[in-house]
Structure 1
Amino acid sequence: MASKAGIRVPEMEKMSIEHLKALKEQTDLEVNLLQDSLNNIRTATSRLEIASAALNDLSLRPQGKKMLVPLTASLYVPGKLDDADKVLVDVGTGYFIEKTMAEGKDYCERKINLLRSNYDQLVEVATKKKSIADEAGVILQAKLKQLGAAT
């Protein structure tokens, strides 16, 4: 039986208990880091989806329409919609670019698609790493059981 990530079970069975423990710990650590990355991508994707929905809502409002403008997550101030065709897009590290509404929507969609693609790739890698950790754990338990039975 071959593992998906290149380490085969027969190779693991030849490893010492110390090497198996180290392999399991390392792959468990990598799986945890990948899970954190997946959570971050999920959060970023949901923020972009919210921004995209806000752009769609904003594009439907007439110019001069009174509205509440968010300054923080819980603080809103009254404002008036001046130009619904121009938006500021946060491109990261404190930089904003003025774009048309269509360009802003396109930017959000491209970023969402990129994040989803990265998410799918990370899920695949995390699954492979989890498989290695599980296989190493099973083999380690078997070796420890054999060692306990031999003494």
Structure 2
Amino acid sequence: MASQEGNRIDLMTLPPQQLAQLKEQLEQQIEQFSMNFQDLQNAISGFHSSGLAIEDLSRQKEGKDVLIPLTSSLYVGGTLGNPDNVMVDIGTGYYVEKTAEGGRDYCKRKVMILTKALEDLAEIIKAKRQQVQQCQRVLQMKMQQFQQQEQQGASV
């Protein structure tokens, strides 16, 4: 049995063409979920790095010269203000001022939330791969039955 949109499907009742289509659909879903998995890993890495940067920043002295990244390859010089206050990007262009400790806690919470989502997604991918294998087994069995029927028809 394979699950499709919450409904159960008896794979043995499907013709080979529909089995092949179902298998292809599942493989496309796995590909999309795998891309999402990679995106989650990148987000986790980014929040982890941000937490470490806040921790390092909070140890610095006010007035220190720093380079501020505007893009991944463009930095401008600046002077560090209060290292105990940071601006945290909370998404969709909104920033919140937090203490350094609050910023680190925010990053840790985001890492924990995203890690849980990553684990859940890994389980979904695993289940989809099992469904693909099941489709493949049933498809092979049906093809063997078809070949046996052809051979029996040819010998009669």
TM-score normalised to structure 2 length: 0.85
- For 2:36, the equivalent position in structure 1 comes to 37
How many residue pairs align between the two structures? 148
**Structure 1 unaligned spans of 5+:** none
Where do residues 118-137 of structure 1 align in structure 2 (5 Å cutoff)?
Answer: 118-137=117-136
Give the distance between the partners of 2:3 and 2:19, measured in 1 at CA: 17
Query: What is the distance in 2 between the residues matched to 1:25 and 1:12?
Result: 14
Identity of aligned residues (%): 32
1:69-84 paired onto structure 2 within 5 Å: 69-84=68-83
Q: 1:7 & 1:80 partners in 2: Cα distance? A: 62
Q: Are 1:7 and 1:132, in contact at CA under 8 Å, matched by a contact in 2?
A: no
| Segment drifting more, 83-92 vs 66-75 | 66-75
Q: Which letter maps to 2:26? A: T
CA contact (8 A) 1:69 1:76 kept: yes
Report deviation, 1:3: 7.0
Q: Is the 8 A contact 2:2 2:11 kept in 1?
A: no
Instruction: State the AA in 2 paired with 1:15.
Output: L
> Separation in 2 of the partners of 1:133 and 1:16?
16
Query: Could you tell me which residue of structure 1 aligns to residue 98 of structure 2?
Result: 99
> TM-score with structure 1 length normalisation?
0.88
Give runs of ≥4 in structure 1 deviating > 6 Å.
2-6
Q: What is the CA-CA distance between 1:53 and the residue it aligns to?
A: 1.1
Retained in 1: the 8 A contact 2:48–2:111? Answer: yes
Partner of 1:16: 15
Shift of 1:99: 1.0
- In the aligned structure 2, how far is the partner of 1:77 from the partner of 1:38? 33
Equivalent residue for 1:68?
67
Task: For residue 84 of structure 1, give the secondary structure of its aligned residue in structure 2.
Answer: coil
CA distance in 1, matches of 2:59, 2:101: 13
Instruction: Please tell me the residue identity of whatever aligns with 2:94.
Output: Y
Q: Secondary structure at the match of 2:88?
A: strand
